[in-house]
Structures are given as structure tokens and as C-alpha cells.
Amino acid sequence: MALDYEKTAKAIVAGVGGGDNVAGLTHCMTRLRFVLKDMNLADDDAVGTAPGVKSVARQSGEYQVIIGNEVSHVFEAISTMELAGHHHATVREAPEQKEPNPIKRVFGFISGCITPLLPAMLGTGMVKVLLTLLTTLGVLATDSPAYILLYGMADSFFYFMPVFLGYMIAKKTGHSVPLYMVIGAMLVYPTVTGLLGGEMEGVATGSFFGVNCVYVFGVVPVVMTSYASSLLPMLLMTPIMGWVEDFAERVSPDVLKAFLKPMIFLLICAPIAFIVIGPIGSVCGSLLAAAMAWLYKVVPWLTVGLLSALMPFIVMTGMHYALIPLMTLNLSTVGYDVIVIVTMFCSNLCQGGAAFGVAAKTKDTELRSEGFASGISAIIAGVTEPAMYGINLRFLKPMIAAVAGAAVSGLLAGITGVRAYTAGGSPSLLSLITFVGGQGNPFHGVIWGAVCAAVGIAISFALAFFLYRDEDDDAGSELLSPDAVRDKALLADDEHARGLHADHVHADDTRHGAKDARQPTPEGSSDAGEASQTAPEALTVAAPMAGRYVPLSKVPDEAFACGALGDGAAVYPEDGCVYAPFDGEVSALMDTGHAIGLTSADGISLLIHVGMNTVTMAPGAFVYHVAKGDLVKQGDLLMTANLVSIAKHGFDITTPVVVLNADEFDGVRAAGADPVCVGEAFLGVQPRDGE
């Protein structure tokens, strides 16, 4: 009988203490993971008897409801319910393991918000590359309807970046998506953009820290700047918006909350965004422009190198807008510019070079594709967002490579006197044409600009290739591979592994010698020869990982140990490589990458769950080498896990291998061989008679 997901969802929510008691909810491959305000309100018996629920567990501060294969459907049913009073509850992500380094935590948060936007970023960026080539070759005029429509499509994503970022921040932090998007949309609203761009006649303006501003109510200064394509205001607003929303939730009476809470949120956050947070980039940029103008008079070659290195962060914070007037002034007075055009030229190309380095190094085909595409976007069109946010900032070390390459390239440009004589869009390799001019040899800038480009790209490529490692945990550990890990000692908790191993050694000869390891006999069979004559031949599940054998009952997770999720066994792995245990189909993957579901041609639904509670780990410890729906052969590499990183974050690496639909068979028996070797028989699954 098909499970009624809505009925199950209602029973579970009622059992955990009602919607008002739910502070957060996520799910992994087999279980719902609740964060409850008061764990004492949860009724284990009520939840455990809900249709489809196999068992419940309380661990790691979570209330876990074990369901099995249909967990995603129940999750979806719960996520549509009104969990918090009369208001739609936000389904929050499971709490992640906190990175102790605050700088890495900040960059990790930024990357986590931007990485999901990468497909749109790459797609629109490549359209800009196409348009750049078409206009350069004279195929398409910039004032043609086709160009305008295509450019609007390509630029819309970057222009409305604050809106998209508002969506991702809300999803990441578990707050109201519509309200956060309104703050982002407000920053780029056309009329507001016109007001802050000085396009409205009759509006009195003034000055604030050297930056033009308009006055609200005649006294409150609002800096005149553009927030299109900007990230800093929304990122800086993140903790403020979170606090304000929680405050509005507390002070709004239930009967008025539907409109009072969002109104309070907007009336507080909007002024803060425009008056306090938003202008930070412009004010700092104005100060930076003054400092760079002075420094360029003193040591011009050093200024170009320094500014080239800092340019990614200047662009990231929106301070580059304040440098544009300086560029315009330079072009109109001295006839050339290096402060903006040349430094961005060096910086943009090196962002692309670092992305190319990652693409050349990684074994992840999807990341390789992203790296090459974002590198092309940066180098050919000067669109650096895909490379900067999707690759280099995301993995940190490639950003170091890009900065180093830009510094050397910029120093060389400053020493050799590379100058831009015209402005021509976002600086890219095609911007070399703007370096033509000057007295004497008009191609001096083009020749040395090309040299600077080659040097910068080469350095950033080489450093990124050298520094980057797939899923590097920045702690000196490397992603364990089939060739490297077998000779490594198992982490700091090896003594635990040895003790566990001692507990799992089996003296019973029937588990080792009397049983054919290549063909495990089903549980409960007293004679293998007799069983083979009276029952269908058992189906074999090969070992997906190498390591030490662990009985399922010894797994340090009650849901696995009690068999609530199904029958099977576990491996304490010696490396992080997971291989296909049979021919079949990849039926399920997780966003966190910690588990994989497979279905064999014989109907075995298998779960391989790497580590205990690893669903709460921050992204980076796991890499899939297959996609959902892929057909695999026994022995194919399915995924790799960084066991060093997992253990250093305090997680047990014991890996259960469980037949989720064990009730559809007559028995599942573990081979019990120790050590466990990849490809050898690990489980025997006995079909029912007549199947």
C-alpha cells in the first residue's frame, strides 16, 4: 500500500511537539533531522507509530526520524505545512560543523551563497564572451536590436546580483526568502538607481566624506552610488537582517504578524542598507582613490602592481566604482590611464589563469568544465565573476594564485610603462587594442601588455595548479586516492580503530572457514549445501570499500545498529574510495555528498553511508564521480571521501552498507571476512522462492 505522505507528515509534526516546536528541519538519505526548540516535547512513541516511520533517534542535538527510501517525499510534505503558528515555517538546513578559522568561515559562507548561482553566472558570462567576439569582428553592431536583447539577457544576472544574493543568503541562513530579496531588489530599483546616479533634476545634493550624496528629510545623507552587480551591501546586511527578522518575529502579536513582521523588517533594514551599510564601499573607494592617486605620483610602478593584486577585492566590495572618476580624469587630462584599465587588465586575466589551473588539476569533470568556461569568460570578455566566485574564492588557494600572478603582471606593466589610451568595456585580452598610442612607438604598450598578460596567466595558472587539490581541507591533508591512501596510517583515532577491530574479530569458524566467502549463505541457513538445493542462489553484494569488517550491530548509530534502515554490515575504511558493489543504477545522491544509493538489476536497493552524522559536515569532504541515473558496473569508482578531514572534524568514519529493501528478500547475511577487500563478497542477499 502506498504511503500517504501528508498523513505521515502530520503525524510526525504532531509527535515532535507541533509546528511551533520545530526550529529547523533537513533530511539525509534515510531520515528526517529535526532541530527542536524543546526536545522534551517530542513523543517517541507517537512519532514511531506514524505510518512509514521505522524508528526514532536522539543524537547530536537532533531529533531524527528514520523513514528510508521515501524520506524525501515526507520531507516535502512537511516543508509545505504551516509549522510556526499561522505562518509558513522556514525549513532550515542542518547545522554545519563550524570551521574554527573565522576568515575561512566567512569566505566559506560567501562561497556557499554564490556557488549555487554558478550555472547562471557561467551561462550569462559565456554569452558576454560571444557578444564580445561578434562585436570585435564586426558581425554585430552594439546598437542593433539583436545585440541589445542578447546583452540584456547576459547582463541581467550581474546587474540584479543583489536580488539573487538575497535569495541565497536567506536559504543559507534559514530566513525569509521574499524579505531578503526585497532588500536586494530595493538596491537596484530603477527609480532609486536614477536618484543615486544623479539623473533626477531638482534634487539637492551634497558631499559626505568626499562622496556625492542626497539628503533624506533634508538632513540624513544617502551616498550617491550604484549597487548593480555589487555583493558587499547584501553580505554585510546578512547578520543585521537575521537579527531584525528575529526581532520582528518576537514583537509582532500573532493576530498582526502576517503584515506587521515584514513591515517592521523592511522599515528597519532599508534605511540601514542605504544610509549605513551600502555607502561603505563608496566611501572606502573614495579614500582608496585618493591614496592611489598620491601613491602613483610617488612610485607609479609599485602602485600598478599593488592595485593589480588588490583589484579582485576592490571589485568584490564595489570600491572600483570610486576609481572610475579617477580613470576618466586621467584620460581627459594626461591622455592615458593605468589606475583602472591596466590594473583590471592584469587582475582579470590572472583570475582566468587561476581558473584554468584548477581545471587542469581537478579530476572532477564538472569542476573542470566550470574552470575552463569561467577562465575563458575572464580572459576573453573580462567577466570575472564566474572565475572569482565560482572557482578561486570558493577554494581560496586559487585566489592566492590569481593575486600573486596579478601582482607580478602589474609590477611588470608599471615598470615597462604600459598605458591605456582609451576605455573599452571590461578589461580583457581584447583590451590590448586600447594600449595603442603615445609618442614614439605606439605599439609599445601592446607588446609589453601582451608580455604582462602571458606572464600573469602563466604564474596564476602554475600556482593554482600547484596549490589546488581536489576538496582540499587547507590543513595539509589531501583527498585520499586509490594510489595514495593505502600506505597512510589511519588518522589520529587509529587506536579507536584497533580497539574496534579487536571487538569485531570472530572466533567462530563458520563465519570464516566453513562459509564460502565468495558466495555468502543467507542468515539462518544451517547447511550451505542443503540451502543451495532448496532455495534460489543468493545474490552477492561485493565490498565497496577496503578496510576492517564491522558488524552492523556495532555501528555507533542506533538507527543502523538496530536494523531500522535495513540489514547489512559496515566497513571501517582504510581509504576514501567507494566502488560499485554490483552492476546497477545510481538511484540517489545527496547534496552533501556523504552517501549514495544504488539499485541492482536484481532489485537490491543499497545504501552506502560514509561516516556517522556526516550529513552535517560543510561541503568539501566528498566528491561524486557519477550522477543520479548513471548505469555502473561492479568496480566503478562512485565517490571519494576525505577521511582525514572527516576525522579531524570529529566524525566517526565507520561506513554502513545496508540493503534498504531487505524486507523484500528472505534474508541478508554478511560474509564477515576481515580485512575487507574491494570486490570480494561482502553481503549475501537471499531472494524469495519463485523470484
The answer to whether the beta carbons of residues 1 and 62 sit under 8 Å apart is: no
pLDDT the model gives residue 535: 58
pLDDT the model gives residue 85: 37
Which one is catalytic: 320, 609, 625, 649? 609
489, pLDDT greater than 80: no
Assess if residue 87 is contained within a domain: no
Asked whether the bond before 675 is cis by omega within 30 degrees of 0, the reply is yes
Number of domains in the chain: 4
- Which CATH number belongs to the domain containing residue 62 in this structure? 3.30.1360.60
- Whether 506 is catalytic: no
Three-state DSSP state, 425: coil
Strand 605-609 to 655-659 pairing: antiparallel
Cell matching residue 406: 596579478
Assess if residue 652 is contained within a domain: yes
Assess if residue 669 is contained within a domain: yes
CA 363, 583, 593, 494 torsion: positive or negative? negative
For residues 440-460, give the mean pLDDT: 92
Three-state DSSP state, 91: coil
Residue 536 DSSP class: P
Q: What is the maximal distance between C-alpha atoms in the chain? A: 98
87, pLDDT greater than 70: no
The Cα–Cα gap between 12 and 22 comes to 11
Nearest to 314 by CA among 397, 231, 394, 373: 231
Do 63 and 174 lie in one domain? The reply is no
Do 508 and 656 lie in one domain? The reply is yes
Do 268 and 370 lie in one domain? The reply is no
Of all residues in the chain, the percent with pLDDT exceeding 70 is 82
The Cα–Cα gap between 474 and 231 comes to 25
Assess if residue 15 is contained within a domain: yes
208, pLDDT greater than 90: no
Cell matching residue 422: 582609451
Tell me the helices (H) and strands (E) count for the chain, helix number first.
Answer: 24, 20
Q: Beta partners for 584? A: 600, 632
Assess if residue 485 is contained within a domain: no
Cell matching residue 371: 574552470
Sorted by sequence, the CB contacts under 8 Å of residue 541 that are 6+ apart come out as 581, 582, 600, 604, 606, 657, 659, 681, 682, 683, 684, 685
Could you tell me the CA-to-CA distances from 45 to 42, 81, 330, 559, 691 in Å, in that order? 9, 22, 75, 15, 36
Given 53, 79, 105, the domain boundary residue is 79
The Cα–Cα gap between 669 and 683 comes to 6
Cβ count within 10 A of residue 201? 5
- Which CATH number belongs to the domain containing residue 532 in this structure? 2.70.70.10
The answer to whether the beta carbons of residues 480 and 642 sit under 8 Å apart is: yes
- Strand segments, DSSP code E, in 418-536 are none
pLDDT digits (tens, 9 = 90+) for 509-564: 333 333 333 344 444 333 444 444 555 678 889 999 999 999 988 888 877 888 77
Assess if residue 89 is contained within a domain: no
Do 271 and 288 lie in one domain? The reply is no
Given 28, 52, 79, the domain boundary residue is 79
pLDDT digits (tens, 9 = 90+) for 338-374: 888 899 999 999 999 999 999 999 887 778 888 999 9
Do 403 and 291 lie in one domain? The reply is yes
Report phi then psi at 170, rounded to 5: -60, -40
Structural domain range at position 16:
5-79
Residue 421 DSSP class: -
Residue 22 DSSP class: E
Given 26, 44, 79, the domain boundary residue is 79
Assess if residue 645 is contained within a domain: yes
The Cα–Cα gap between 75 and 92 comes to 12
For residue 512, the surrounding DSSP H or E stretch is none
Do 517 and 643 lie in one domain? The reply is yes
Do 261 and 320 lie in one domain? The reply is no
* Beta-sheet strand order (sheet of 539-542): 539-542, 681-686, 667-670
Q: Beta partners for 220? A: 216
Do 441 and 513 lie in one domain? The reply is no
Do 503 and 650 lie in one domain? The reply is yes
Do 592 and 610 lie in one domain? The reply is yes
Assess if residue 426 is contained within a domain: yes
pLDDT digits (tens, 9 = 90+) for 297-326: 888 888 888 989 988 888 777 666 667 767
Do 678 and 620 lie in one domain? The reply is yes
Do 167 and 69 lie in one domain? The reply is no
Residue entry with cell 550529513: 615
